[in-house]
Amino acid sequence: MKLIWLLTVAMAGVAALIALPGVLAEPGAAVPDLTWLALVPLFALAEVVVVHLPTQRNAHGHTLREIPAVLGLTFLMPQQYVTAYVLGAVVGLVVAARMRGAKLAFNTALFALEAALGALAYHAILQGADPLSLTGWMAVLVAVLLTDLISAAAVTTAISLTERAFDGEVLHEALRWGSAAAFINTCVALLVATLVLVQPSALPLLGVVVVLLVIGYRHYISLFRGHARTQLLYRFVDRTSSAGSPEEIVEIVVREAAALMHAERAYLVEFLDDHRVRCSSLVHDTLRTESLDLGGQSAWWLRSLDGDVVRHESPGRPGHREAPAPAQEPTLMSVPREGLAASLRGGGSTRYVLVVCDRTFEKESFGSEDVQVFEALAAHAGVAVERARSVGDLEALAEQLESARDAALAASNAKSMFLANMSHEIRTPLTTVLAASELLEDTELDELQGKLLERLQLSGGLLLSLVESLLDFSRIESGHTTLHEAEFDLPAMVRDIVDASLPRARRQGLVLEWAMEPGTPRLVTGDRTRVVQVLNNLVDNALKFTPHGGVRVDVRPYCDDGDRGVQLVVADTGIGIDQDDQATIFEAFRQVDGSSTRQYAGTGLGLAICKQLAELMGGTISVSGAPGEGSTFTLRLPLTADPAPAAADSDPSRQVAAH
């Protein structure tokens, strides 16, 4: 504000230096006459138009001020012109805008500088020629354009000092549109001056033209201002949509609210409870957030929680003296000169209020149109803040899920390591127990001891199988299982598995057979040990769940979309698997009958290990069938093959059977 006062004094001093020599040289030239008395209210009326036209920058908008200026230059002495210009324009500001204090002083000095420089330029070019001659017209145009440029430069300087940043928009607007508007208005004024001198009776007709110009200006500038504010709202929505964090959203809301409403301060208030709020504002172009305790205080902006936009004007507004500048930096709880407040819609369960205070130096008070724009801004801000809160909640949830996932993976790894270590530690003494039982079998035992030893060996074998399964499962899950590729005889491998299972099949009274289709390679490359483990598990399962009938193993080649390999099919006539259970049968520790009274014992790890090993080898395993109709397990492995076909012993008619 000190810099504004310095600028005001400088403009007034320059105006005095220009005007005082003429007044001192011809004191009588400054005495008012009838023409002076007629033009003073015309200057005042022109300034009223300045105030009430809804321009984007009212203090230097496109108006009809050029008309009284041209008439004053034409019919008044320079000294009279300066006093009429300043007095009439100041009266217009006081009456229409209720302007007081620094703003009024600044505008008074600006009017004096405009009038003095305009008169000086006009009479310097005219040099006593006819005011309605070509020279007079050129002198008027130069004087008016000079006046407009001085106004734009002075207001641009004032805005830059107030906002602490250069605002080139004002100067650009004056150069782009102000010159054209000044030229049109000057031509109208010259027409008025010509009619006054040539045909004064035609002046009422010219009044119609002036009224139409005022209406046209008002409509054009209203549309222009609406378009500019719409563009600012679009920019606000675009910037909030591209923001990456809730803090960035809050900063954009505060910054854009101050810019769009031409306010010196903007606050975003979040209600933590009925007595505490969190206030975010820009301090020295940096977002500052602080918590405030209302402590029963009743601030003017609290009324906006009822849902309507609240407009505040201090007692220093119309009809009173302008409120003095605060001794310290204003805060949210300070009483502003003027302000707007609106609650944000779409803010979810949290309540927010957007507050703007004190218009910048060149702006008038908040009007009804500003209230509508601010209401739209608050609605957009509410959506933006709610979206930021949702994104923040999702990010926090994602972090929690990531932490939970890491914890689960760590627990899974720890479990796998525990299983591997414990399986190894259990297997060592268990092997010793089984070996001791075999040695005990060679001694003389009575009938009871023989039965107990048989049970011991059976239970020990089952326990050893369980430990081996747990060890395999934990190794595969922890990623410690490796494959050893080597060439092996495929039909010989299948025959060995079937031969090893024949005694069990005979004891159960089942048929066990195998066959190899023509074209199946005999020599293939892969991990024979893992293939044997999977196929042997499938054959054991088939015999286990087949009370009568038989089990068949088919070996055949496959070729799908260029992928070649071997397909091992194990089909049985057993109890079958329900369609719903087929989707989960390969999960670890999952059994079709998981009750404590189930008929078939087991851990539920066998098929899970088969699936993991099949996928580790790049293959797949699947099951089909229905209850009471048996099951068919299909193992497909991409075993690379020797181009030579299978030997004669792989003919499909060659079977191994057990009855």
> Per residue in 345-355, pLDDT tens?
765 556 889 99
Q: What number of residues does the chain have? A: 659
More confident of the two residues 186 and 654: 186
User: Is 80 exceeded by the pLDDT of residue 497?
Assistant: yes
User: Is 80 exceeded by the pLDDT of residue 27?
Assistant: no
Q: Span 358-374, mean pLDDT? A: 73
Positive or negative CA dihedral for 53, 58, 59, 65?
negative
More confident of the two residues 600 and 244: 244
**What's the whole-model pTM score?**
0.43
Q: Please give the mean pLDDT across all residues of the chain.
A: 78
User: Is 70 exceeded by the pLDDT of residue 139?
Assistant: yes
**Interatomic CA distance for residues 493 and 649, integer angstroms:** 13
Q: Tens digit of pLDDT for each residue in 218-265? A: 676 667 666 666 776 777 777 777 776 778 888 888 888 888 888 888
pLDDT score recorded for residue 488: 92
Name the strand (E) or helix (H) holding 91: helix 78-97
* Domains within the chain, CATH numbers bracketed: 2-232 (no CATH), 243-319+331-393 (3.30.450.40), 486-650 (3.30.565.10)
Residues 543/512, Cβ–Cβ less than 8 Å: yes
pLDDT score recorded for residue 52: 62
* Percent residues over pLDDT 90 in the chain: 13
User: Is 70 exceeded by the pLDDT of residue 450?
Assistant: yes
Contacts of 381 (CB under 8 A, 6+ apart): 236, 240, 253, 257, 268, 344, 352, 354
More confident of the two residues 191 and 255: 255
Angle at 50 between CA 44 and CA 56, to 5 degrees: 170
pLDDT score recorded for residue 517: 92
User: Is 90 exceeded by the pLDDT of residue 510?
Assistant: yes
User: By CB neighbour count within 10 A (0-12 exposed, 13-18 middle, 19+ buried), where does 96 fall?
Assistant: middle
Q: Tens digit of pLDDT for each residue in 541-572? A: 899 889 989 999 999 998 877 788 999 999 99
User: Is 60 exceeded by the pLDDT of residue 55?
Assistant: no
pLDDT grade for 648, boundaries at 50, 70 and 90: very low
Highest-confidence range of 162-166, 307-311, 494-498, 637-641, by mean pLDDT? 494-498
User: Is 50 exceeded by the pLDDT of residue 82?
Assistant: yes
Helix ranges (DSSP H) in 246-367? 246-260
pLDDT grade for 74, boundaries at 50, 70 and 90: confident
Helices (H) and strands (E) in the chain, counts: 16, 14
Q: Tens digit of pLDDT for each residue in 422-431? A: 666 776 787 7
User: Is 80 exceeded by the pLDDT of residue 44?
Assistant: yes
User: Is 80 exceeded by the pLDDT of residue 213?
Assistant: no
pLDDT score recorded for residue 572: 94
User: Is 50 exceeded by the pLDDT of residue 322?
Assistant: no
Q: Tens digit of pLDDT for each residue in 154-167? A: 777 777 776 666 65
User: Is 50 exceeded by the pLDDT of residue 595?
Assistant: no
More confident of the two residues 163 and 189: 189
Q: Span 94-114, mean pLDDT? A: 83
**Interatomic CA distance for residues 44 and 89, integer angstroms:** 5
Q: Span 617-630, mean pLDDT? A: 90
Contacts of 272 (CB under 8 A, 6+ apart): 278, 291
